[in-house]
Structure formats: C-alpha cells, structure tokens
Amino acid sequence: MPAYVCVSGIYRNALIYVCVGGIYKRVRRAFVCVNGIYKAINFGSWATGSWATCTGTCCASTNQSRTVQCKVGSTVVNDTYCSAHTTKPATSQSCTVTCYNSSNDCVAALKTASGSITIGSSNNGTTGKYTIKLYGGGGTGGTGGTSKRYYNSDCNCDSEGNCDCSTINKVAGGGGGGGGGSGGVTTVTATIASGAVITYTINGAGKTTTLSKPSTATAAAGKAGGNGGAGSATATTLVQGTAGSGATAVTGGNAGSNGAAGKAACSSAGGAGGASKYSSASYNAGGKGGTAGGVPTATSGSTTTKAGSAGAAGKSGCVTIQQNTRTG
C-alpha cells in the first residue's frame, strides 16, 4: 500500500526515501513487521493497453484512446498505488486518420491521363467510401479582333472642290478576345470494395472528362471565349472593335472574362480564362483571350489591317480519387 503524510489535516500520498552514505535514495519496495513477520508494502506499476485504431474521415485529425491500469502483479488496484510514486501515462492522444498502406497516406490521388486503378492493389486504398472528382478540360480563349488603319497623304476633296490636304490617319483597334471558361466539375461518391476497378477517360483541353467504372459520369468541357470584333476605319468613319465575350460557365466550372473593347492605341487585351476549380491552374483552367491586332503599318493611299492573336488553349482536365472512410 502507499504511504501517506498528514498536511494541514489532509492526508496526501508521500514518497519514501532513505539516506545511504549521505545520499537520499528513493524506496521502491518497503516492508512492515506484522506479528513478527515482515510483509512487503506493494507499490503498483502502470499497465498500458494498445492504442485504439484511429478512425473517421481520411486525413482528419481526431483522438485515439487506450486503457491505463495500476497493477500489483496481475491484480488491478486503485490508481493511488501507482500515482504515489509515478505519473499516470496518457489515456488519449491526437492522431490523423489514414486510409492507405503507402508512405503517401492522406494524399488524394491525382490522375492526369486516361486509365484505371484497382482498389487494394499497389497501395490503392482499401474497401471503403471514396470521392471521385472529374474535372473537364478548359475552353479556348477567343481570338483578338483585327485592327484597321486608313492612311492617305494626298488631298481629300469633296464634290464641290473643297480640299483638305492634311494627312488622313485613322486607326480602329480590334477588340480583345473573351476568356475561355474552365471545365466543369462532377463529384461521385461511392462505396468501393477491394478488387473493384475505377476507370476514367481524360479527353484533353476543351474536352470532357468521363468516368465509366464503378458508375458513369461526365464533367463538361469549358466553353470557348467569344472573338473580339474587328475595327473599321475609312476616310470618313472610325469604329472600334467590340470586346469578345467571356465564355459562360458550365456546370461546376467558372466563366471566362470579357475582353477589352477596341481603341485607337490597338492595345486591347483579351479577357482572363475561367480559373481552375482544381487546386492547381495546371488543370481545368480556361484559356486567356487573344490580344487585338497592333497598329497596322502606314501605307500611303491605302487601308491596312493587322490581325489579332489567337486565344490560348485551355488546360486539360484531370481526375482525383480520395478514400474518405475505410471498412476493415
């Protein structure tokens, strides 16, 4: 049994020390004489059980527990037999739920090319609940509009003979192309057994991404941005090109931005493509719209044009596979 000392009327657990050669040493085992027979005063020791399995949503932080008992030999006794001389070990601790058997626990599998995986093989998870996300390919940005310039160094005379001999130099810029929309996103949640196959097809930029096993689903391709309008310039008129419209959003995707309207400086920029719905712009994002044509080269006595640039291609789609819970 433990030793106690009375402090201010309250009995508290006490540690026992003995002085040996001027050095105090802790008594781990003591004896008491009962009717002429010395009997050991037993000090207990902590017996810890195994930590319980960390369960819950994959990659989530949670707690796991274990049993901690004070024992004298094989007998479970009151904790005071142990706590009088040692601190009780922890009965719970934080943990992170894992669902894979590889060093890449809790990392969603990213797939960037068509293929399939078999659950339970090559560390591809275990029987459990999965979330599969399909990301469609981003749409192409619209083409920048053509810029137009009317230039004439000769006299400009009307039907009555009135002439203006100043240089006629008019420039109408094309509009910037609209940004392409990002690809759509489709989420599939299913319980998948070990040995089952997940099959997916990634068709590329501006195209769909599909799932054929364990069920069928499709993520739409992002739409293309609108082309910028052409500028118009003659001896008497000047019309700046209209802006290309950004692509409208498909289900789960983002819309593209409108391009800038044409202007004489011919610096109208294309609109931004729809932002990727995936965590990286390397996949699913829409392409930026093309810039309008620059200022055409002046040629006396004629009209000259300069085409805008083509819009950028969108990014290819992708697939992510994440195990959420496990069975067994």
What 8-state DSSP symbol labels residue 308? P
0.85 surpassed by pTM: no
In DSSP terms, 11 is beta-bridged to 6
Looking at residue 104, what is its pLDDT?
44
Looking at residue 62, what is its pLDDT?
85
Distance from C-alpha of 184 to C-alpha of 317, rounded to nearest angstrom: 9
Distance from C-alpha of 94 to C-alpha of 63, rounded to nearest angstrom: 4
Distance from C-alpha of 310 to C-alpha of 241, rounded to nearest angstrom: 16
Looking at residue 7, what is its pLDDT?
60
With a cut of 50, which residues of the chain have pLDDT below it? 1, 11, 102-105, 107, 328
What are the structural domain ranges in the chain?
A: 3-52+70-88, 100-328
If one counts every other C-beta atom within 10 angstroms of the C-beta of residue 92, the result is 12
Task: Write out pLDDT tens, residues 114-145.
Answer: 999 888 766 566 777 888 999 999 999 999 99
Distance from C-alpha of 67 to C-alpha of 120, rounded to nearest angstrom: 32
Q: What is the DSSP string of 246-293?
A: PPPPPTT--PPPPPPPP-TT--PPPPPPPPPSSSSTTSSPPPPPPPPP
Looking at residue 264, what is its pLDDT?
84
Looking at residue 326, what is its pLDDT?
63
Distance from C-alpha of 154 to C-alpha of 138, rounded to nearest angstrom: 50
- CA triplet 230, 288, 174: central angle to 5 degrees? 15
3-state secondary structure of 83: helix
Q: What is the DSSP string of 110-127?
A: EE-SSEEEETTSTT---S
Looking at residue 1, what is its pLDDT?
45
In DSSP terms, 310 is beta-bridged to none
The token pair at 190 is: 């299913």
> What's the distance, CA 238 to chain centroid?
48
